[in-house]
Structures are given as C-alpha cells and as structure tokens.
Amino acid sequence: MAFDLKRFWQQAEVLAEAGGYTVALDGRKLKTPLKRPLIVPGRRLAGAIAGEWQAVEGKVDLQQMPYTRFAHAGLDQAVDERAEIIAKLALYGENDLLCYRAESPVELARRQSKAWDPLLGWSAEVLDAPLLITNGIVHVPQPEASLKALENTVQAHEGFALKALYDWVTLSGSLVLGLAVARGRLAAAEAWALSRLDENWQAEQWGVDDEAQKHADSKYDAFLLVERALGLI
C-alpha cells in the first residue's frame, strides 16, 4: 500500500496473523514500503501502530507516526540492509565516544571518568571487549580482538532489535552505550544522559542554546521511542 495518500478508511484494527499481528484499514492489511506484510510480534505494538493510523486526519504523514516507521525499518531496512547496518555499527567501536576524554578542564575530565569508566569496565568484562582511553580527539587504535568481539555482539541482533540498536548507537555516538541499553545494563534515558555529558557541561558554563536544545530534545524523543517500541513487543 502506497503511503502518499489521504485517509479513506473508517477503522484501523489489529488482526492476528501467522507470526504475529498486523493492522488493517477497513479490512485492508498494511504493507511496508517494500511491499512486505506489516506483521509485528507484539499485539501492543500493533495496537500502537493502529492508533497512529486511526488518528490520521487528511493526508498520511509518516513523520508523525513513529511506531509505524519503527515497524517499517525493522521489517525492511534491518533485513535488506543488514550487512551494511552491522558494518556501520561496528565502526563506532573504533571511535567510541566513551574513549575520548577532555584534556581540560579537570572537572569535566573527572565527570567523564566517573560516568564512563564503569561502562568501559562492563564492555571489558561482559562483552570481552576492553577499549583504550585517550585524551583529546586524536584517533587511538583499539585492540583488534575487542573490535571483533563487539562486531560479534552486534551480529547477534536481528530485525527490530537491530533497528533499535542502530538508533541507540547513531544517536548517542557510542556502540558501548547502545549495547548497554540493548543488554539491559542501562535504561535509554540513562544512556542518553551519559552521551550528553560534554554538551551538558558546556550548557552549565555558557548557558543553553535554544536551537541546539530543540535539536537535542528531538533526538532524545527518538532515543526513548525505540525503547518504548521494543517494550511493546
């Protein structure tokens, strides 16, 4: 079903399907942009998607339908572009945010160490991927064994789990933080706060830039939406 359309339906409803649940608009079952049946593994997620379609007024705007977009990505991109997504995520391990520390001021460096060191310790112990720390922004090569271990961990994610991990990593700039959320080590809100440590420090010193804050708030909403969507599964 094309998505460049105006509302024609009276009722969006959840239907049980083999392998999960779908959403039908007056009996017409939804498909993804790549024409796959839109079947998700959780009734509550299907209900959230149905709610978005029921709320449509006038023309369909997928930008206002985050659960629908989540389903599309989990069923289309996470399948057809799986190799590319995994390769991109693995690259974040080579330049993980948590490994690059401020040379000054001392207080910021201390905050980084207190907040980020436990996560790097977790990566070393649980993911078998110890990573090196450096001061400044000059690239530090990471151990090949650690990068391979991180890539193997990413490889274990499929479908909706891979979609969620992709968003958590790309929005935070940290593969370790993304995996920590995926593994239940951190809640999404905690991981987001850790990823914004530098920006929050700057805001404390110089005040909040309204435009930058608006952009950050949008990313924060997207970061938490993924956690909620997985929770519905």
| pLDDT tens profile 182-192 | 999 999 999 99
User: 60-69 pLDDT, tens per residue?
Assistant: 999 999 999 9
Domain with CATH 3.30.2180.10 in the chain: 12-75
pLDDT bucket at 3, cuts 50 / 70 / 90: low
- pLDDT of res. 1: 44
Q: For residues 197 and 108, what is the distance between their CA atoms, to the nearest angstrom? A: 9
> Regarding beta strands 20-25 and 134-135, do their DSSP bridges make them parallel or antiparallel, or are they unpaired?
unpaired
CB distance 96 to 122 below 8 Å: no
User: 156-171 pLDDT, tens per residue?
Assistant: 999 999 999 999 999 9
CATH architecture of 80-232: Orthogonal Bundle (1.10)
Tell me how far CA of residue 172 lies from CA of 18, 80, 181, in angstroms. 36, 24, 11
The residue ranking higher by pLDDT, 145 or 214, is: 145
- pLDDT of res. 136: 86
The average confidence (pLDDT) of the chain is 93
Q: What share of the chain is helix, strand, coil (3-state, %, to 5)?
A: 60, 10, 30
96 DSSP assignment: -
Query: Percent of the chain, pLDDT > 70?
Result: 98
pTM here is 0.92
User: 32-91 pLDDT, tens per residue?
Assistant: 999 999 999 999 999 999 999 999 998 999 999 999 999 999 999 999 999 999 999 999
CB distance 119 to 86 below 8 Å: no
Domain with CATH 1.10.3580.10 in the chain: 80-232
146 DSSP assignment: H
User: 88-142 pLDDT, tens per residue?
Assistant: 999 999 999 999 999 889 999 999 999 999 999 999 999 999 999 999 888 999 9
pLDDT bucket at 203, cuts 50 / 70 / 90: confident
Best CATH choice for the domain 12-75 from the list 3.30.470.30, 2.40.50.140, 3.30.2180.10, 3.40.50.720: 3.30.2180.10
- pLDDT of res. 2: 45
User: 208-219 pLDDT, tens per residue?
Assistant: 777 888 888 899
